[in-house]
Structure 1
Amino acid sequence: MSRLDRLRERFPVSPRVHAYAAWAALVLFTLIIISGAAVRLTGSGLGCPEWPRCNGTSVTPSDGHAYIEFGNRMVTTPVSIAAVLCLVFALLRRPYRRDFTVLGALLLAGVVVQAVLGGITVLTGLNPVTVMSHFLLSMGTLIVATTLVWRVVRERRAQAQTPSHDRLLVGLVRVLTVFGGAVVFVGTAVTASGPYAGGSGTGDVVTRLTIFGDDTFNNIITIHARIAAVFGVAAVALWVFARLRGARDLLLPLGAVCVMVAITGAIGTLQYHILAYPAWTVWLHVSAVSLTWNALLWSWLAAGRAERAAEPAAAPARAAEPEPAVLR
Structure 2
Amino acid sequence: MPNSLNPFELIARRWQPSARFVERAALATVVMAVVIVVTGGAVRLTESGLGCDTWPRCTSGSLTPTSELGIHGAIEFGNRMLTYVLCAFVGLLIIAARARQPVRRSLTRLGWVQFWLIMSNAIIGGIIVLTGLNPYIVSSHFLLATALLTIAMVVWQRSREGDGAPRDLVARPVRQLTWLLVGATLTLILLGTVVTGSGPHAGDAREVHRIPLDWQEITQLHVDFVYIVLGLTVALWFVLRAVQAPAAVRRTVLELLGVLLLQGVIGYVQYFTGLPEVVVGVHMFGSCLVWIAVLRVFFAQRERPTLAAVPESGPTGDHESLQPETPADPGPAPEPAASSR
TM-score, normalised to structure 1, is 0.85
Alignment correspondent of 2:224: 226
Q: Percent identity?
A: 35
1:262-316 alpha-carbon deviations (Å, 9 max, x no partner)? 11111111111x21222222111111001100111111111238xxxxxxxxxxx
Residue 81 of structure 1 and its aligned partner are, at CA, apart by 0.3
**Matched residues in 2 for 1:224 and 1:278: separation?**
18
Residue 140 of structure 1 and its aligned partner are, at CA, apart by 0.4
Alpha carbons 2:9, 2:99 under 8 Å: kept: no
Q: Does 1:167 align with 2:167?
A: no
Q: 1:245 aligns with which of 229, 243, 246?
A: 243
**Matched residues in 1 for 2:260 and 2:80: separation?**
30
Q: Which amino acid aligns with 2:253?
A: L
Alignment correspondent of 1:206: 208
Q: Does 1:12 align with 2:16?
A: yes
**Matched residues in 2 for 1:162 and 1:249: separation?**
15
**Matched residues in 1 for 2:242 and 2:274: separation?**
41
**Matched residues in 2 for 1:6 and 1:119: separation?**
35
Residue 47 of structure 1 and its aligned partner are, at CA, apart by 0.4
Residue 103 of structure 1 and its aligned partner are, at CA, apart by 0.6
Residue 161 of structure 1 and its aligned partner are, at CA, apart by 5.6
Q: Does 1:53 align with 2:52?
A: no
Alignment correspondent of 1:100: 107
Q: 2:189 aligns with which of 184, 190, 214?
A: 184
Output the aligned Cα RMSD.
1.9
Q: Which amino acid aligns with 2:266?
A: I
**Matched residues in 2 for 1:6 and 1:87: separation?**
12
Residue 98 of structure 1 and its aligned partner are, at CA, apart by 1.3
Residue 58 of structure 1 and its aligned partner are, at CA, apart by 1.1
**Matched residues in 2 for 1:298 and 1:226: separation?**
23
Residue 101 of structure 1 and its aligned partner are, at CA, apart by 1.2
Secondary structure at the aligned position of 2:160 is classed as helix
Alignment correspondent of 2:27: 23
Q: Which amino acid aligns with 2:152?
A: A
Alignment correspondent of 2:300: 302
Alignment correspondent of 1:114: 121
1:93-122 alpha-carbon deviations (Å, 9 max, x no partner)? 111121111111101111111111111111
**Matched residues in 2 for 1:221 and 1:37: separation?**
18
Unaligned runs of 5+ in 1: 306-328
Matched residues, number: 295
Alpha carbons 2:110, 2:155 under 8 Å: kept: yes
Secondary structure at the aligned position of 1:47 is classed as coil
Secondary structure at the aligned position of 1:154 is classed as coil
Residue 6 of structure 1 and its aligned partner are, at CA, apart by 4.6
Label 1:225 to 1:276 Cα distance change in 2 as closer, same or farther (>3 A): same
Q: Which amino acid aligns with 1:111?
A: I
Q: Which amino acid aligns with 1:209?
A: I
TM-score, normalised to structure 2, is 0.82
Alignment correspondent of 2:331: none
Q: 1:288 aligns with which of 283, 286, 289?
A: 286
**Matched residues in 2 for 1:142 and 1:163: separation?**
24
Residue 13 of structure 1 and its aligned partner are, at CA, apart by 2.9
**Matched residues in 1 for 2:166 and 2:15: separation?**
26
Higher relative contact order (CA 8 A, sep 6+): 1
Label 1:206 to 1:162 Cα distance change in 2 as closer, same or farther (>3 A): farther
Moved more, 234-243 or 126-135: 234-243
Residue 31 of structure 1 and its aligned partner are, at CA, apart by 1.0
**Matched residues in 2 for 1:135 and 1:66: separation?**
21
**Matched residues in 2 for 1:10 and 1:127: separation?**
48
**Matched residues in 1 for 2:9 and 2:302: separation?**
36
Residue 160 of structure 1 and its aligned partner are, at CA, apart by 7.9
Q: Which amino acid aligns with 2:285?
A: S
Q: 1:143 aligns with which of 138, 143, 150?
A: 150
